[in-house]
Structure 1
Amino acid sequence: MGLSASMWTSVSGLIAHGNKMNVVGNNLANVSTIGFKSQRMDFNDYLYLGAGSASGPTQIGAGVNTYAVLGDFSQGSFESTNSGSDLAIDGNGYFKVRKPNSDEMYYTRAGDFYFDKDRQLINPQGLRVQGWRVDNSTNLTFNRGATSLGSLSSAESSYVGSGTPTDIVLDMWNLPPKQTQSVSFTMGLSTDAGSDRTTNPDNPMSALWNQWDGTAETPLASTAYTGKSDIDIYDQGGTKHTLSVYYDQVALKSDDYEIKGLPSGYTVYEYLVTIPPSEDNRTYGGTVTYDAKGNPVLDGNEQTFAGTKQAGVLMTGHLIFNESGQLVNQTAYTYGANGKDAAGNDLTADKPCDQDPTQMSSWQPTKISSNGLPVFTANFDGKPLVNSVSEMAANGGTPYSVAENYIIELDLGLRNTSNNPAWDNMATSLADLATQAGAQPNDPKTLDFGTKGATMSSPNRETNASFLKQGKSVVQDSDADGYSAGILSTYQIDENGIVYGSYDNGETMALWQLLLCDFDSPQGLYREGGNLFSETKKSGKARQGVPNDAGFGSTTAYNIEQSNVDMTREFVQMITTQRGFQANSKGITTVDTMLETVISMKR
């Protein structure tokens, strides 16, 4: 090994340190680049040549080489901004963006996004941010005698969006109206003695139902009940209506009757779900035909609920509380729920229910939703075959429910999680319940819950709200879905990557959920420039997920992630690189001097 080899050894040092200075310089150049991930260069000893020595064979090094350039994928600091579409990932993951008019996908930590004129979420290069669309539709269907609305699952998934990830576009600028499908109330009902405002010795369990008069200007006097809940609901056209629920305690014993079979300290309330009688457009009777579009049409022989005593009554039933004031049982009756006509025959798909709504026998135990809640029908526009939860249409094909888009589930604090088609041990109708309270051999009249069974007792039923004892009945909370038409006014993005739209009708709705991706080997990602990475065989396939789930970081709006370049460390690397470069250059000049000496000796 000669002097020329020594020179090339130092030259390799110059080349390696020059390359490292490029890496250091690139890091410092991108110290303010958002989402930038710095790099470092590692060296390795390059080559060894065999040589002889007094002690035997040996090796002499022949220089240095670039061993690896590794990325630092640690978290960068956050900088706050004034834009709600600016996003930073706190933790693992990358945003996925698509090149317009192609299927090319890239990954980035730079979340400087904004909505363009077409309301697409893009970055400054025009790449489309990817996410899952949120399906806000809820369709109520029938299954084995029960209704289906939503899910029984109590486990909340981090995935709000569904389907195939695609470009995020705020295309729901105009929000169409949505009919109410679910209402809930939490009531604090008094258990004080003397809270039974309305009594009926012949039908003690149906006193409110009998007291209601849909033909009167005031259907129910204010002195007839101990509590009342009002809430706004919406029909299919987005028109607002008032739904009222009345409550009145049922005295368990009077001079005329006695209700037995309940444990000591239990309390019973009757409730009545109503709308204004003038807005009740249900009908009964008549014959169904179909128009050219297949819509059901009545022949004109139908009778309207309006003008009858029970006009406006949608559901009635009972709430039973234990000695601690907790709701433990419930009954619920709706018109024509047994799916039979007045003669007791099963309804056909082309025949509407013709039971007289003023008769107690026409009110039977209602169906339940898959959420375990009783349901009722509200018909505001007079559409045929939406008067009972059991009416069906056919039009020459498979029977289907027209009423499913008009049915509302009621949550008063108790759910049936057994998902049974019908509730156990409930009286077959209000008339049957009244019969159970008929004259017994010994006065007073008695209704024995223990033997006759008028409640929905089952080990599979659980409460989802508390009804507390107190001196005065009050509404503690109420809620209902449904809304009128609205226009998008603003948006916000939460830590789970969910894009919410806020509308001028007061509704806030989840519209999209951001997609995050991660890789088994981020070191294998290819740096495309423009704050972008692309997938390679070395990185492995992208793992998809959503923020705040399965190891993915959360999203923080009004923030962008800064470069993770540590300037102090880079300056240290710059100094050591410079010294290494100078040392190798000194080696070259020294070898050059030595070569000149050798050449001059020859001369």
Structure 2
Amino acid sequence: MSFNIALSGVNAAQKDLDVTANNIANVNTVGFKESRAEFADVYSNSIFSNARTQVGSGVQTATVAQQFHQGGRLSTNNALDMAINGNGFFVMSNESGSTDRTFTRAGAFSLDDQGFVVNSRGNYLQTFAVTESGTPASLSLNATKPLQIPERAGIPKQTDTVNGSMNLPAKTPGLDPAAFDPTDAKTYSSSTSVTIFDSLGEPHTLTQYFVKSGTDNEWQMFAYVDGQNALGVVTDPDTGNPVLTDPADPTSTTRRTLDLTFDANGKIASPDPARIDTIGLDFENGSDTAQVIDIGFDSITQFSAPFEVGRLTQDGATVGRLTNIDVGPDGTVAATYSNGTIEKLGIVAMARFSNEQGLSQIGDTQWRESLLSGEAIVGQPNTGTLGKIDSSKLEQSNTNLTTELVDLITAQRNFQANSRALEVNSTLQQTILQIR
């Protein structure tokens, strides 16, 4: 019996040594979680046994429990490197179309030859589709899909809206709008311009000219694109009628004008909003001839101050190339293009479990759900109990090397002590065998 007891102690010490050695070996493994060998004593139970004199039967390994506390974070220069600050796991799949999911804390990701975000084993990082409002389209594990960084150029977007904020000087001398000539600065009071884009991404210059009429608080705005004014009939959104250059001439609709009237406080009186539609632009390059540019003002005033443009923006964009990838704390992956557009590619999927220690280890710092762990509960990072994403960082192993070295010495002493017990038992049996 004593041989078996001592042998169980040797086996337990060896198991402790194995677990400690494995922790030490993975001290530099990204996303590694240290383990702890837990032991239990062994007793033979019987209804006729005397508990007061019963001797134990040794020791057994109860479990090798992984410790999922947070590891340190290491800063990197790769935006695709991600660390989870808090609870949760990245969701992975071994094939792009597979529904088999594994889970990891190791966020060292890179791109494969097709632009998919993968780990060192080629497994695909899973994301949720993102809506226009920036929220996940579906919080379902089976709805996740591999994250792919597009190689194509940013798609151009034609200008639909131009908005501005400006002040027109109240003391500007009146001019004759009928004499307006964009090539003669004496025929208009002020002007400003902005670059707009057609459907092919080609830039054009939209210039707005402001003419103070002879009547107080009344202005006319002329809009030209690339110096051309014959760009279609203009309609007033308030009335739906064409805006005429000459009210007496119903055919004079090609010069795009808008009458602006201000009240005694310098605020716009009509039209409100001050907005026109330019219809039927033709840039003679094969672009969309039905492009409509809505010209409006977020704020336009007539104060006794110099002409000033506070803001002039448009919503179009030319062709762009991928310049940057950003990953937000909420897991949103956004691609930035050289044309200034930002495209949301997806939201990193994150999962948590009721019992993390019940997860099945499959190697490569990855786990799979089991009956003990419970089903994966998926969600968006930085919501609920799920941690946030730290981009350009990696979670290091949570192994404490100093503690492991102390545990290594302790396990070694236990091994030696149990080996000594075996040796003593062997000596005693040898002594008994030599009795004559």
**Offset, 1:24:** 0.8
**Offset, 1:273:** 7.3
**Offset, 1:538:** 2.4
**Offset, 1:37:** 1.0
User: What secondary structure sits across from 1:571 in the alignment?
Assistant: helix
User: What secondary structure sits across from 2:414 in the alignment?
Assistant: helix
Residue from 146, 155, 162 that aligns with 1:176: 155
Q: Is the 8 A contact 1:158 1:549 kept in 2?
A: no
Amino acid at match of 1:197: T
Instruction: Report matched runs for 1:386-397 at 5 Å.
Output: none
1:159 counterpart = 2:135: yes
Once residues 187 and 389 of structure 2 are traced to their aligned partners in structure 1, the CA distance between those partners, rounded to angstroms, is 55
> 1:260: which partner in 2?
none
The alignment's TM-score, normalised by the length of structure 1, stands at 0.58
**Offset, 1:309:** 5.8
Q: CA-to-partner distance for each residue in 1:495-531, whole Å, 9 max, x for gaps? A: 4433333434454433343222222322122111012
**Offset, 1:570:** 0.7
> 2:68: which partner in 1?
73
CA distance change for structure 1 residues 49 and 309 in 2, over 3 Å: closer, same or farther?
Answer: closer
1:89 counterpart = 2:93: no
User: What secondary structure sits across from 2:347 in the alignment?
Assistant: strand
Identity of aligned residues (%): 28
Residue from 224, 228, 238 that aligns with 1:278: 228
1:235 counterpart = 2:186: no
Q: Is the 8 A contact 2:208 2:223 kept in 1?
A: yes
**Offset, 1:328:** 11
> 2:21: which partner in 1?
25
Amino acid at match of 2:223: T
> 2:318: which partner in 1?
484
RMSD across aligned C-alpha pairs, in angstroms? 4.3
User: What secondary structure sits across from 1:584 in the alignment?
Assistant: helix
Once residues 355 and 341 of structure 2 are traced to their aligned partners in structure 1, the CA distance between those partners, rounded to angstroms, is 43
1:130 counterpart = 2:80: no
Once residues 312 and 179 of structure 1 are traced to their aligned partners in structure 2, the CA distance between those partners, rounded to angstroms, is 20
CA distance change for structure 1 residues 382 and 558 in 2, over 3 Å: closer, same or farther?
Answer: closer
Residue from 22, 36, 54 that aligns with 1:40: 36
> 1:312: which partner in 2?
256
**Offset, 1:29:** 1.0
**Offset, 1:537:** 2.8
Residue from 370, 382, 406 that aligns with 1:536: 370
User: What secondary structure sits across from 2:228 in the alignment?
Assistant: helix
**Offset, 1:28:** 0.8
User: What secondary structure sits across from 1:159 in the alignment?
Assistant: coil
> 1:381: which partner in 2?
282
> 2:57: which partner in 1?
62
Once residues 581 and 327 of structure 1 are traced to their aligned partners in structure 2, the CA distance between those partners, rounded to angstroms, is 90
CA distance change for structure 1 residues 195 and 30 in 2, over 3 Å: closer, same or farther?
Answer: same
Amino acid at match of 1:88: A
Once residues 334 and 224 of structure 2 are traced to their aligned partners in structure 1, the CA distance between those partners, rounded to angstroms, is 32
**Offset, 1:598:** 4.1
Once residues 303 and 233 of structure 2 are traced to their aligned partners in structure 1, the CA distance between those partners, rounded to angstroms, is 40
Once residues 542 and 485 of structure 1 are traced to their aligned partners in structure 2, the CA distance between those partners, rounded to angstroms, is 42
Amino acid at match of 1:332: P
CA distance change for structure 1 residues 408 and 109 in 2, over 3 Å: closer, same or farther?
Answer: farther
**Offset, 1:228:** 4.9
Q: CA-to-partner distance for each residue in 1:533-586, whole Å, 9 max, x for gaps? A: 122232233233333333433333333222111101111111111222222222
Amino acid at match of 1:18: Q
In the comparison of the two structures, how many residue pairs are matched?
Answer: 413
Q: CA-to-partner distance for each residue in 1:369-410, whole Å, 9 max, x for gaps? A: xxxxxxx45531399xxxxxxxxxxxxxxxxxx97x736474
> 1:579: which partner in 2?
413
Amino acid at match of 2:231: N
Residue from 272, 278, 294 that aligns with 1:331: 272
CA distance change for structure 1 residues 499 and 61 in 2, over 3 Å: closer, same or farther?
Answer: same
Q: Is the 8 A contact 1:70 1:523 kept in 2?
A: yes
CA distance change for structure 1 residues 228 and 518 in 2, over 3 Å: closer, same or farther?
Answer: farther
Amino acid at match of 1:117: D
Amino acid at match of 1:114: S
Instruction: Report matched runs for 1:435-584 at 5 Å.
Output: 471-584=305-418
Once residues 420 and 294 of structure 2 are traced to their aligned partners in structure 1, the CA distance between those partners, rounded to angstroms, is 87
Once residues 538 and 52 of structure 1 are traced to their aligned partners in structure 2, the CA distance between those partners, rounded to angstroms, is 35
Amino acid at match of 1:240: P
> 1:185: which partner in 2?
164
Amino acid at match of 2:228: S
CA distance change for structure 1 residues 32 and 599 in 2, over 3 Å: closer, same or farther?
Answer: same
CA distance change for structure 1 residues 585 and 249 in 2, over 3 Å: closer, same or farther?
Answer: farther
**Offset, 1:39:** 0.9
Residue from 165, 177, 182 that aligns with 1:218: 182
Residue from 1, 4, 7 that aligns with 1:8: 4
**Offset, 1:41:** 1.4
Q: Is the 8 A contact 2:37 2:63 kept in 1?
A: yes
Show structure 1 runs of 5+ residues with no match.
137-156, 200-207, 258-267, 286-304, 336-375, 384-401, 415-466
Amino acid at match of 1:159: T
Amino acid at match of 2:29: T
Q: Is the 8 A contact 1:98 1:104 kept in 2?
A: yes
Q: Is the 8 A contact 1:212 1:219 kept in 2?
A: no
> 2:94: which partner in 1?
99
**Offset, 1:331:** 0.8
Range that drifts further, 489-498 or 582-591: 489-498
> 1:145: which partner in 2?
none
Q: Is the 8 A contact 2:234 2:256 kept in 1?
A: no
Q: CA-to-partner distance for each residue in 1:413-448, whole Å, 9 max, x for gaps? A: 59xxxxxxxxxxxxxxxxxxxxxxxxxxxxxxxxxx
Once residues 401 and 234 of structure 2 are traced to their aligned partners in structure 1, the CA distance between those partners, rounded to angstroms, is 81
CA distance change for structure 1 residues 382 and 502 in 2, over 3 Å: closer, same or farther?
Answer: closer
CA distance change for structure 1 residues 551 and 182 in 2, over 3 Å: closer, same or farther?
Answer: farther
Once residues 387 and 264 of structure 2 are traced to their aligned partners in structure 1, the CA distance between those partners, rounded to angstroms, is 45
Amino acid at match of 1:275: Y
Amino acid at match of 1:217: D
